[in-house]
Amino acid sequence: MIVKKLDPILREVDEAIKRCLKAEVDSIGRIQAGDWGENEFEYYARLIDSDEIRIFHHIRIAYRGFAFQIDCLILTPHFAIIIEIKNLKGVLTISNEQLIQNVDGRQSRVPNPIAQVKTQSFHFMRWLEEHGIESYPIINLVVSTNRRAIFEFVEPCEEARQMYVHADNFPLKFRMLEIQNPANLTQSNLNELSKTILASHKPKYNNTLEKYGLTEDDFVFELKCQACGFHLMTYKKGAWHCDRCGETCKDCHVQLIRDYLLILGRGISLKECRQLFGIQSRNILRNLLRKMNLKLVGNRKSARYFLSKK
Ligand SMILES: [Zn+2]
């Protein structure tokens, strides 16, 4: 969920609010229902689905300034399963360290799915710890969805044998794991955890407006007086003054610029800033922007200010 981006949108336009919320709710609904995607795994995951477990497809969890994506994350009272899905054809020569694909006599090395799933698992474990969940087992699996793929294990492969599974064997593997691991989370723990995961889910959208089906015209960016709501504020001697009620404030432009940058996602030029605030002096505008610690990209007329990443 993009609360950070949704928040300024909420302040802007009533109509936009409804559409944004609808889009956001729709997007959460899709995740909850299982955004099955195109892969074959959909069918096999449905075979194990029950009220006891939660399945997330293509979840992308924001964590410490980056995000890690998991093809399929399954939460059960017994354990979490992180699944890396592969749809490779041919004979797969598998060891702990590498995966070689052999198709029609041609060999190629594929990025090792074991390393991929273990990296995600590591991030997820750290993320869980930060959310107060410890000693919840995480099981890593690599599921092959290509029905004709043949596994050929070569030493060292103990770990690989545990982790690789053909999609049609997945339901059986899942039941075995359930038997081997005692339950240690309650349904209310799971509900809580699911909510937190959804709140941390950061879909990979580059353009917020596109995501919500909005255009820039759906937004009105105006500096409004906090006291009376009037929109003509003028900048004099280092502060904003309301032309109607006389209220003054020093930094009420900050929120408006932040909203502008967050919503439009394309930075702001000095010229746009001038139109936004009706200030003619480039020096004053530069000063206001400089104090906000924005990132300047480009130079001279092409220069645009962006929010700097925290
Ligand atoms: Zn006012």
pLDDT of residue 12: 55
Cα angle 203, 19, 55 (rounded to 5 degrees) comes to 35
Tell me, rounded to whole angstroms, the distance of Cα 26 from its chain centroid. Answer: 15
Q: Please give the structure tokens belonging to residue 159.
A: 């770990």
pLDDT of residue 146: 87
Residue 65 Cα to ligand 1 midpoint, Å, equals 38
For residues 218 and 16, the answer to whether their CB atoms sit within 8 Å is yes
Residue 232 Cα to ligand 1 midpoint, Å, equals 8
pLDDT of residue 150: 95
**What does the pLDDT look like over 29-84, one tens digit per residue?**
333 333 333 356 877 887 888 888 888 877 888 888 888 989 889 999 999 999 99
The yes-or-no verdict on residue 27 having pLDDT over 60 is no
CA-to-CA distance for 60 and 37, rounded, in angstroms? Answer: 14
For residues 123 and 63, the answer to whether their CB atoms sit within 8 Å is yes
CA nearest to 308, candidates 258, 263, 253, 273: 258
Residue 244 Cα to ligand 1 midpoint, Å, equals 5
Output the average pLDDT for the chain.
82
pLDDT of residue 21: 47
Residue 241 Cα to ligand 1 midpoint, Å, equals 8
Residue 235 Cα to ligand 1 midpoint, Å, equals 13
Residue 220 Cα to ligand 1 midpoint, Å, equals 18
Q: Taking residues 77-103, what's their average pLDDT?
A: 94
Domain boundaries along the sequence of the chain: 34-185, 221-306
- How is residue 224 annotated by DSSP? -
Residue 94 Cα to ligand 1 midpoint, Å, equals 70
pLDDT of residue 30: 39
pTM over the 0.85 mark: no
Residue 153 Cα to ligand 1 midpoint, Å, equals 74
The yes-or-no verdict on residue 4 having pLDDT over 50 is no
For residues 259 and 221, the answer to whether their CB atoms sit within 8 Å is yes
pLDDT of residue 304: 79
The yes-or-no verdict on residue 28 having pLDDT over 90 is no
Q: Taking the chain, what is the end-to-end CA distance rounded to the nearest angstrom?
A: 18
Residue 276 Cα to ligand 1 midpoint, Å, equals 18
The yes-or-no verdict on residue 204 having pLDDT over 90 is no
Residue 245 Cα to ligand 1 midpoint, Å, equals 4
**Higher pLDDT, residue 107 or 67:** 107
Share of the chain above pLDDT 90, in %: 40
Provide the CATH topology of domain 34-185.
Trna Endonuclease; Chain: A, domain 1 (3.40.1350)
Residue 14 Cα to ligand 1 midpoint, Å, equals 21
Band (16; pLDDT cuts 50, 70, 90): low
**Higher pLDDT, residue 248 or 212:** 248
pLDDT of residue 2: 36
Residue 209 Cα to ligand 1 midpoint, Å, equals 31
Q: Are strands 138-144 and 80-86 parallel, antiparallel or unpaired?
A: parallel
The pocket of ion ligand 1, defined by CB under 5 A, consists of 225, 227-228, 230, 242, 244-245, 247
pLDDT of residue 23: 55
Residue 222 Cα to ligand 1 midpoint, Å, equals 13
pLDDT of residue 310: 44
